[in-house]
Structure 1
Amino acid sequence: MILTITLNPAVDISYKLEQFSLDTVNRVDHVSKTAGGKGLNVARVLQQLDVDVAASGFLGGSLGGFIRSQIEALDIKDFFVQIADETRNCIAVIHEGNQTEILESGPVITDKEGQLFLEKFSDYVQQANIVTLSGSLPKGLSADFYVEMVKISTQNGARVLLDSNGALLDATLTSGYKPYFIKPNEQELADLVGEQEMDELQIRAALAAPLFTNIPWIVVTLGADGAIVKHGDTFYRAKAPKIEAVNPVGSGDSVVAGFAAGFARGLMDEELIKFGLSMGVLNAMEEKTGHINVEKVAWAVEEMQVEKIKG
């Protein structure tokens, strides 16, 4: 089983308007409400790939109940921990070619709730051989919360795929327990190592630094340009097929799902890279976030170009 973690999930609400007017009433006919969060996107793609998957994190109030009903309908195991505070809304108003977002900060997690989660996580991880940690932390949790989760996972023999950035990623990489896989994008890597921007040579040099020692898989995504991948001491360059992107939101989460599923299937090196990155391409081709067309998987893998970088 693969266990996906979304510590600060949300109900994602999308309003589509032909015109948005300030300081007056705007009526909307096109509304969608979905269970949102990076780890939940990962879980959805894994479920579509027919992987045994569970989702966990914190949920509270009626909005938390809505998310529970959504993941139950998708046949994703519900390992979420109940909290007293209310789960957040994240609102996107799509209008005249623009997208205006209103994002709630979310609940405040008490010390007792944080400790309860870690206790339950210690039980849940024994059922999983792969754990994905995605996104930010809710208020109330310290920056080393992921560090503790990586430690618990490692002690129970589970491989951790970490998709975070900034202080959370730095805290984890400088700890005594390292994730099995990380997926910074080009800008996140530059921020982490104190650069403004990076070319391929700079990316490779940065990944050879002691900070990234003992992380078997590092995938630096480059958007439509593909990715630079480091496995052990070997670097790969991946080029994605040219597509007409419909909705690229959630493509990074889909890549995490693709690699998690690939690890579970025992895929190796070029085959694994092609499969993992293909999920990001397929997500970008769909209107819904965290969705792929499984009938196009073989095509995407075939079109993905991966070569070993020499020197």
Structure 2
Amino acid sequence: MIVTVTPNPALDVSYRVDKLAPGTTHRVRSVRERAGGKGFNVSRVLHELGVATLAIGPVGGVLGESIRADLLAAGIRHALLAVDAPTRMTVAVVDEEDATLFNEAGAALLDTEWDRLLDLVRARLVGADVVVCSGSLPLGSPRDTCARIVGIARDAGIPVVVDTSGPALLAAAQAGADVVKPNAAELREVVDADDPVAGAEALRAAGAGAVVLSSGPDGMVAVTGEGRWRAIPPFPVRGNPTGAGDAAVAALANGLVEQSSWPMRLRAAVAWSAAAVAAPVAGSVDLALLHRLYEEVAVEAF
């Protein structure tokens, strides 16, 4: 089982329009709402692909109840902590060429609520094979939130994948996260290195076991203690990229469960990520495209 922790959940709303034109009125072709936040998206992808998962996160207010109802309807196992702070909303406006995102920051949690969330994580690790801490932190959150989750998992002998940014990313690496997955911009925020591979090595030197660097349509690089690999998608995929990174994290976590080789993990991460772009909303993958990508993603050592 893969336990995901989402420190900053959101109700994700996706609007489909013909063409986004700022300053004009748009006719919305379709609206989709679902439980979001990066960790919840990871759990949704895992659940869709038949991998056991448990989604944990703090929720509050009307939107928090909408998240609870959506997870129930989707059949995704979850353990949600009720908090006073209202859950935020994110909006994706998607046209035929691109997606434009509007992400609320998220309201601050009380220190006692963070402690209760960590207690909830600790209590739900029985039977867990991997822990994922994924997403941004609400305003005013302790920078070591993901690092504390890493510590809890490591104390239980469970590997951890972290996908966050800023000081929280560096703290998680220093706490010994087994895998961290920044993009190039997030890496530059925390490491003083012009070369991405050198930056990834610096993050490993800080304490991370492995660094998987995502570069959108240009693929991913894995810098590990076993070697370095690069994986490239075989062709461009158009659609909604908002959940692509979450699908990659799901693949990396599943690779840890299966104890597959790093080239196989990286191939899966690129394939799951690209297949997520072709899906209409974050937290899903295009299954037909996924099978094709598995066969065609190129992986090379360097």
Fold equivalence (TM over 0.5): yes
| Deviation of 1:93 (Å) | 4.5
Q: Quote the Cα distance in structure 1 between the aligned partners of 2:95 and 2:287.
A: 31
1:67-102, Cα deviation, whole Å (9 max, x unpaired): 111111222111111112221122344579776544
Pair 1:38-2:38 in alignment: yes
Q: Which residue is equivalent to 1:128?
A: 128
- CA distance, structure 2, for counterparts of residue 102 and residue 298 of structure 1: 32
Contact kept in structure 1, 2:220 and 2:266, CA below 8 Å: no
- Residues in 2 aligned to 1:35 and 1:152: alpha-carbon distance in whole angstroms: 25
Matched residue SS, 2:124: helix
Question: What's the secondary structure of 1:125's corresponding residue?
Answer: coil
Is the aligned partner of 1:182 residue 2:177?
Answer: no
CA distance in 2, matches of 1:209, 1:246: 34
Figure out how many residues of one structure are paired with residues of the other and give that number. 301
Contact 1:48/1:294, CA 8 A, preserved across alignment? no
Q: Which runs of 5+ in 1 are unaligned?
A: none
Q: Is the 8 A contact 2:173 2:207 kept in 1?
A: no
Which stretch has the larger CA shift, 203-212 or 149-158? 203-212
Query: Could you tell me which of 267, 276, 283 is aligned with 1:283?
Result: 276
| Structure 1 residues 102 and 239: CA distance shift in structure 2, 3 A | closer
Give the corresponding residue for 2:80. Answer: 80
Shift of 1:271: 1.8
Deviation at 1:216, TM superposition (A): 2.9
Of all paired residues, the percent bearing the same amino acid is 31
Which secondary structure state, in structure 2, belongs to the residue aligned with residue 66 of structure 1? helix
Separation of aligned partners in 1, 2:285 and 2:10: 21
Cα distance in structure 1, aligned partners of 2:178 and 2:142: 22
CA contact (8 A) 1:274 1:306 kept: yes
1:57 to partner: Cα distance: 1.0
2:286 to 288, 293, 297: 293
In the TM superposition, what is the alpha-carbon distance from 1:190 to its structure 2 partner? Answer: 2.3
Give a deviation string over 1:164-201, Cα, whole Å, max 9, x none: 11111122223xx3101011112222232235xx4xxx
2:141 corresponding residue in structure 1: 141
Q: Is the 8 A contact 2:162 2:172 kept in 1?
A: no
Q: Greater Rg, structure 1 or structure 2?
A: 1
Query: Does the C-alpha gap of structure 1 residues 142 and 298 become closer, same or farther in structure 2, counting only changes over 3 Å?
Result: same
- For 2:224, the equivalent position in structure 1 comes to 231
Check conservation: 1:243, 1:285, Cα contact below 8 A. no
- Quick check: 1:303 aligned with 2:296? yes
In 2: Cα distance, 1:205 partner to 1:98 partner: 31
Give the drift of 1:140.
4.4
Q: Which sections of structure 2, spanning at least 5 residues, go unmatched?
A: none
TM-fit CA distance, 1:231: 2.2
1:20 deviation in Å? Answer: 6.8
Give the letter aligned to residue 37 of structure 1: G
Given that 2:170 and 2:203 are in contact with CA atoms closer than 8 Å, whether structure 1 keeps it comes out as no
What's the secondary structure of 2:182's corresponding residue?
coil
Contact 1:129 1:157 (C-alpha < 8 Å) held by counterparts: no
CA distance in 1, matches of 2:232, 2:98: 29
Deviation at residue 233 of structure 1 after TM alignment: 4.4
- More deviation, 246-255/230-239: 230-239
Deviation at 1:115, TM superposition (A): 1.2
TM-score by length of 2: 0.90
2: distance between equivalents of 1:17 and 1:273? 33
In terms of mean alpha carbon deviation, does 162-171 or 98-107 score higher? 98-107
* Superposition RMSD in Å: 2.5
Alpha-carbon distance, 1:42 to partner: 0.6
Amino acid at match of 2:114: G
